[in-house]
Amino acid sequence: IPGLWGLVNNAGIAIPTAPNEWLRKEDFVKVLNVNLVGLMEVTLSLLPQLKRARGRVVNVASVMGRLACFGGGYCPSKFGVEAFSDSLRLEMRHFGVKVSIIEPGFFKTNITNSEAMEKNFISIWERLSDETKASYGRDYLQKCECILKAHLALLCQDPPGPLKSLWHEVSACPLPLPPVLTATREMGKKCNPNLSLVTDCMEHALTSCHPRCRYAAGWDAKLLYIPLCYLPSALSDIFLSWSYPKPSQSE
């Protein structure tokens, strides 16, 4: 019986996303079911065919599977993809099946759709209790606007001059800060549209004689997030918290 040479798992969603305290259990489950549980179900159902062909499994995770920068189910799901793929790679090596992980940085995809992100922020904020809203304050979302713009300017565009671009975005930010929704509209414009950086990794993992265990796609993944994840947590926390807004009732 002919087998299956290659399986690429690339389904993923990020919404709902927000600070963890703002979310409910079902918000996490929605993302985990697509990004992790669905990937497991498809892979397990096709393993017999992959073993017959001594084929390849390519699971698309994320740099957020190495370093969790924001709340919601996306980062936990991608950490899960990494763990599942690592254990599967060890088990399948005895059957000649190769398992690779692709860790893209920030690219222009449906995950960064600005309209969906706007609706996400609004709907989650409006359902919060008065106590939670008071602890963060309305300025919390407003302050996120320039921070998100600077983050995207640094991470979602091709070099040269990313640090200069970041400083320009931060310096140009007026006070009081405009709403976060403005930033989500900029997201679609600034994220890297060159998806061939990711598909080239898929092609190599499927067709090369010696596929890699991991592929980092995008300059931000290679030069920022992957190195950052090797730092002690105390140092990476300092780096990441630099861009976090402070809630109104923070200590």
Number of domains, the chain: 2
Identify whether residues 166 and 237 lie together within a single domain: no
What is the reported pLDDT for 159? 47
What is the reported pLDDT for 192? 63
Tell me whether residue 248 is in a domain: no
HSE-CB for 240 with a 13 A CA cutoff: 16
Identify whether residues 24 and 95 lie together within a single domain: yes
Identify whether residues 11 and 96 lie together within a single domain: yes
Give Cβ neighbours of residue 174 (< 8 Å, ≥ 6 apart): none
What is the reported pLDDT for 107? 60
Window from 5-14, 103-112, 239-248 with minimum mean pLDDT: 103-112
Average per-residue pLDDT for the chain: 80
User: Higher pLDDT residue, 216 or 153?
Assistant: 216
Identify whether residues 189 and 201 lie together within a single domain: no
Identify whether residues 212 and 167 lie together within a single domain: no
Identify whether residues 40 and 19 lie together within a single domain: yes
Q: What is the mean pLDDT of residues 130-154?
A: 71
Q: What is the mean pLDDT of residues 122-137?
A: 90
CATH number (domain holding residue 49): 3.40.50.720
Identify whether residues 209 and 223 lie together within a single domain: yes
Tell me whether residue 237 is in a domain: yes
Catalytic member of 74, 136, 215, 225: 74
Identify whether residues 139 and 210 lie together within a single domain: no
Tell me which residue range forms the domain holding 211: 1-107+194-241
Give tens-digit pLDDT for 150-198: 554 555 554 444 444 443 444 444 444 333 434 444 444 445 667 788 8
Identify whether residues 83 and 178 lie together within a single domain: no
Tell me whether residue 136 is in a domain: yes
What is the reported pLDDT for 156? 52
Q: Above 70 in pLDDT, residue 149?
A: no
What is the reported pLDDT for 204? 96
Identify whether residues 44 and 160 lie together within a single domain: no
Identify whether residues 44 and 138 lie together within a single domain: no
Tell me what percent of the residues of the chain surpass a pLDDT of 70: 74
Q: Above 60 in pLDDT, residue 68?
A: yes
Tell me whether residue 246 is in a domain: no
Give tens-digit pLDDT for 23-60: 999 999 999 999 999 999 999 999 999 999 999 999 99
Q: Give the three-state DSSP class for 40.
A: helix
Q: In what order do the strands lie in the sheet with 214-217?
A: 6-9, 56-60, 98-104, 214-217
What is the reported pLDDT for 142? 67
Element (H, E) at 59: strand 56-60
Identify whether residues 185 and 198 lie together within a single domain: no
Tell me whether residue 247 is in a domain: no
74 belongs to the catalytic site = yes
Give tens-digit pLDDT for 1-15: 589 999 999 988 888
What string of H, E and C letters represents the secondary structure of 156-182? CCCCCCHHHHHHHHHHCCCCCCCCHHH
On the question of a cis peptide bond just before residue 211, with omega within 30 degrees of 0, the verdict is: no
Q: Above 70 in pLDDT, residue 114?
A: no
What is the reported pLDDT for 206? 97
